[in-house]
Homo-oligomer: A and B are copies of this chain.
């Protein structure tokens, strides 16, 4: 397992109430240094250009090298400025759409230069809030065209489309993993796929394990975002603190399909120590992975082939509570 995180946990974690943030801001260098202290971390996701400019790339390379970290993914920052408030690739303003495409291409170039070779495309501001606010057909066209143009920019760089049902918009343009796959298939290029975010999956009542497998069948499982919530909202919590069985199932199937990409954390620890909050996620996942590996895969596969819940519930219980029998 290659572990990564984005650097949001080391930000002030501002929300709409505590607009001054829950902790003071620190520099990119400091963030990377803190991340490097996380036991087991191998890489970081980098937002561009909110964290650094194109001319900073050599400096960023040094930070990473000095701290023994890789860049897992570059994330074009298309949600954090008022400019993008009506969307990026689907913005009603042609010039802003062009800016979005330009920024995505830059992010792809940087992803190549930093050796990540993949970008995470989350279009948080694309969508709508009110009924009868947008032309849904036009939005879909712009998604297909925009992703197509970006993907053709460099076929060696993977575009990981990240679904999210809502927030900041009441309705995101790419609400579900199903819709991401629909879009990727419609675009039809091999470097367009998905970043499966477990929290976003729960929020859309999509089982991460199911979608990891279906994405894999279409060769479009490119990246993983791990975090937890109560199924109702993108709380970005420590992994495994709420959901357990679904993570176990995900980990079981990731082994079955031979997933060898990043396990990347996307958390929002407002009141918790960021380093500890991330470290606990890694520990929880590693422990759950051991529970999953403690299962007899042959027996589980036999049971799921006959849809036998009683059998798998019992197998999970025996693996999990091995010492409590």
Contact residues of A with B, CB < 8 Å?
A: 13-23, 79-82, 85-87, 92, 124-125, 128-138, 140-141, 165-168, 170-171, 175-176, 178-179, 181-182, 185-186, 204-207, 209-210, 213-214, 216-217, 229-233, 235, 237-238, 240-242, 244-246, 248-249, 252-253, 257, 268, 270-273, 276-277, 280, 283-284, 286-287, 290-291, 300-301, 304-310, 312-314, 316-317, 320-325
Which residues of B sit under 8 angstroms from A229, Cβ to Cβ? 170
A–B Cβ pairs within 8 angstroms, 7 of them: A15-B168, A92-B305, A134-B307, A175-B205, A176-B204, A204-B204, A230-B231
> Contact at A230–B170, with CB atoms within 8 Å?
yes
> Contact at B280–A313, with CB atoms within 8 Å?
yes
Q: Nearest CB to that of A284 among chain B residues?
A: B317
Asked if A321 meets B131 with Cβ closer than 8 Å, knowing A23-B82, A178-B179, A277-B310, the reply is: no
Asked if A252 meets B179 with Cβ closer than 8 Å, knowing A18-B80, A235-B170, the reply is: no
CA A238 – CA B170 in complex, angstroms?
13
CA A251 – CA B70 in complex, angstroms?
43
Which residues of B sit under 8 angstroms from A205, Cβ to Cβ? 165-166, 171, 175, 204, 230, 232
Least CB distance, A103 to chain B, in whole angstroms:
16
Which residues of B sit under 8 angstroms from A291, Cβ to Cβ? 321, 324
Which residues of B sit under 8 angstroms from A283, Cβ to Cβ? 317
Q: Nearest CB to that of A140 among chain B residues?
A: B214
> Contact at A137–B238, with CB atoms within 8 Å?
no
> Contact at A307–B92, with CB atoms within 8 Å?
yes
Q: Nearest CB to that of A292 among chain B residues?
A: B132
**Shortest Cβ-Cβ A-B pairs, 4 listed:** A178-B178, A131-B245, A287-B321, A130-B309
Q: Nearest CB to that of A214 among chain B residues?
A: B140
